[in-house]
């Protein structure tokens, strides 16, 4: 296990550095997100192969982490790299950091390796769980995983369709899932991590699986997700987004409310 982690951090440092150089040349720091999504899937697959895991549970865990990794990595690559669109969050960071932006972005790329390690823990705990697969909680876990991925993909698709219309350039998407939450994609991403908590039940290390949903909620709600997205939307959409804030829940989906007079 020690050799696995030594190799993980060594290779991670190299990949993050190469990705940063590529991102600088392309002028798209959002490539940093692909390190996180792709790296997590690759790391789980490597662990599965190196430790010769062959239980039904470990195979299902591998399937859902690879499905998550491939879907999100492809979406980010197509939406950011191929289209050449920088994420507003990173534009704001570049402006805020000023001359220190290059070195700070490099550290942000390296930080992704720690994030991968953190979220790899619940995946590996579920993968190593010796409990036989087939309990009701396992079936629920698979349902949670795939419904969450479907919900997040649907939210991304609805937002992309809205933004594709030139007339909506300064408007706010209120259609589909975006009618019930200002960040439905983040909500489903958070919900997804409960799948590993359920798949880890029965393991002596099951408590570590709570790292996934707890850390993801903290990061999305208070650190890397909602705060930056809200500031960017207020800056670009102004009063329209303030009205959206007044009528629509931030994170958890719920019916729209009437704005206060």
Q: pLDDT per residue over 38-77, tens digit each?
A: 999 999 999 999 999 989 999 999 999 999 999 999 988 8
Residue 255: inside a domain:
no
What domain count does the chain have?
Answer: 1
Q: Which domain holds residue 94?
A: 2-247
Residue 261: inside a domain:
no
Helix 56-76 and helix 31-50, axial crossing angle in degrees, nearest 10: 160
Instruction: Provide the whole-model pTM.
Output: 0.93
pLDDT of the residue at 88: 77
pLDDT of the residue at 48: 97
CB of 169 closer than 8 Å to CB of 82: no
% of residues, the chain, pLDDT over 70: 99
CB burial of residue 239 (10 Å; 0-12, 13-18, 19+): exposed
d(CA 66, CA 203): 22
The three-point CA angle 232-233-238 to 5° equals: 115
Residue 130: inside a domain:
yes
Residue written as token pair 């190196």: 50
Residue 18: inside a domain:
yes
Residue 254: inside a domain:
no
Q: For residue 184, what are its two tokens?
A: 């439905």
Residue 258: inside a domain:
no
Q: pLDDT confidence of 170, banded at 50, 70, 90?
A: confident
Residue 169: inside a domain:
yes
pLDDT of the residue at 84: 74
pLDDT of the residue at 194: 98
Residue 252: inside a domain:
no
DSSP-derived letter for residue 251 is: S
């Amino acid at each position: 296990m020690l050799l696995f982690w030594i190799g993980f951090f060594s290779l991670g440092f190299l990949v993050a550095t190469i990705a940063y150089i590529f991102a600088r040349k392309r002028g798209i720091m959002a490539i940093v997100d692909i390190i996180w999504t792709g790296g997590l899937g690759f790391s789980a697959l490597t662990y599965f192969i190196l430790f010769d895991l062959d239980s039904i549970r470990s195979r299902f865990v591998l399937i859902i982490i690879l499905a998550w990794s491939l879907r999100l990595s492809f979406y980010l690559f197509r939406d950011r790299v191929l289209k050449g669109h920088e994420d507003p969050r990173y534009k704001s960071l570049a402006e805020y950091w000023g001359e220190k932006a290059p070195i700070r972005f490099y550290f942000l790329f390296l930080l992704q390796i720690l994030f991968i390690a953190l979220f790899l823990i619940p995946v590996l705990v579920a993968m190593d769980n010796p409990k036989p697969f087939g309990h009701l909680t396992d079936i629920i876990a698979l349902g949670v995983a795939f419904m969450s991925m479907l919900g997040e993909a649907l939210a991304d698709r609805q937002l992309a369709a809205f933004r594709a219309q030139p007339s909506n350039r300064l408007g706010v998407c209120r259609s589909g899932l975006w009618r019930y939450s200002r960040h439905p994609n983040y909500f489903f991403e958070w919900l997804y991590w409960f799948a590993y908590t359920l798949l880890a039940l029965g393991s002596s290390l099951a408590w570590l699986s709570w790292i996934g949903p707890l850390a993801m909620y903290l990061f999305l709600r208070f650190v890397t997700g909602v705060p930056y997205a809200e500031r960017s939307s207020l800056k670009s959409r102004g009063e329209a987004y303030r009205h959206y804030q007044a009528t629509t829940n931030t994170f958890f989906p719920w019916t729209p409310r009437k704005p206060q007079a």
